[in-house]
């Protein structure tokens, strides 16, 4: 069975993931590739419902375990309905966040444990792991400034305190160092064009 290419983007809110995903999607489409994009949580009927629960500011007292299981449920549905079928057909999948987010946000920043969240995530994905993961690395205060300048309403996760965002920033660097075989760390404070040139160069190595 032919396997497609699975690319994920990770980073703090405000790191520029959405912009780079759009640029990469357009670039690969121009090259004639069959490309699918997805976002976590979401991109399925059930995933979008779970997303509303997770990001609802009224749910600020949600337990960390409940939060984790909701992310895992959304991911399991996304893999089943979107990612796995696309990859089995040889398509290229670009996903805005995947299980690395759970390892960092819940496993590290929430303190639930890296190994535990990784094992649960692999169970939810059926063992599917990204071929390449781009970490757009920006410091917590820079991401916050970008979010402030965007003047958009903050969701439950975006309203977390500065200390939480700092834990997420450091957590990403920790796991990127641990999984060097698939992580590409890019300075998210560089110009959009310069970031994308590096993204293109790395992706080309897989095509």
In a domain, 1, yes or no: no
Per-residue pLDDT reduced to its tens digit, 85-136: 999 999 999 999 999 999 999 999 999 999 999 999 999 999 999 999 999 9
Angle between helices 140-150 and 162-178 (to 10 degrees): 120
Which residue segment(s) compose the domain that 46 sits in? 6-204
Q: What pTM value is reported for the model? A: 0.91
Mean pLDDT for all residues in the chain? 91
pLDDT confidence of residue 139: 79
Instruction: Tell me what the mean pLDDT of segment 159-174 comes to.
Output: 86
Do 200 and 44 touch, CB atoms closer than 8 A? Answer: no
pLDDT confidence of residue 1: 44
Say which CATH number the domain at 169 has: 3.40.50.300
- Please provide the distance, in angstroms rounded to a whole number, between the alpha carbons at the two ends of the chain: 17
In a domain, 53, yes or no: yes
CA distances (Å), 34 to each of 44, 92, 103, 161, 205, in order? 19, 6, 29, 40, 17
In 3D, which of 162, 172, 158 has the Cα closest to residue 107?
172
In a domain, 162, yes or no: yes
Per-residue pLDDT reduced to its tens digit, 185-203: 999 999 999 999 999 999 9
Q: Are strands 6-10 and 35-39 parallel, antiparallel or unpaired?
A: unpaired
In total, how many domains does the chain have? 1
In a domain, 93, yes or no: yes
In a domain, 103, yes or no: yes
Residue 163's pLDDT band (boundaries 50, 70, 90)?
A: confident
* Helix or strand holding residue 96 (H, E): strand 92-96
More confident position, 59 or 35: 35
The C-alpha atoms of residue 123 and residue 120 are separated, in whole angstroms, by 5
């Amino acid at each position: 069975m032919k396997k497609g290419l699975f690319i994920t983007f990770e980073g703090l809110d405000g790191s520029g993931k959405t912009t780079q995903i759009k640029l990469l999607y357009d670039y690969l489409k121009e090259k004639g590739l069959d490309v699918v994009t997805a976002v976590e949580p979401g991109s399925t009927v059930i995933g979008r419902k779970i997303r509303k629960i997770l990001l609802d500011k009224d749910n600020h007292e949600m337990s960390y375990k409940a939060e984790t299981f909701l992310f895992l449920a959304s991911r399991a549905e996304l893999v089943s309905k979107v990612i796995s079928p696309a990859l089995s057909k040889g398509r290229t999948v670009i996903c805005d966040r995947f299980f690395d987010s759970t390892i960092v946000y819940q496993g590290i920043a929430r303190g639930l444990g890296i190994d535990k969240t990784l094992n649960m995530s692999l169970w939810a994905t059926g063992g599917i792991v990204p071929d390449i993961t781009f970490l757009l690395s920006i410091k917590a205060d820079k991401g916050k400034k970008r979010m402030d300048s965007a003047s958009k309403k903050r969701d439950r996760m975006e309203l977390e305190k500065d200390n939480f965002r700092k834990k997420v920033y450091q957590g990403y660097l920790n796991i990127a160092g641990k999984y060097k075989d698939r992580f590409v760390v890019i300075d998210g404070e560089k110009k959009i064009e310069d970031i994308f040139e590096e993204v293109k160069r790395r992706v080309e190595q897989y095509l």
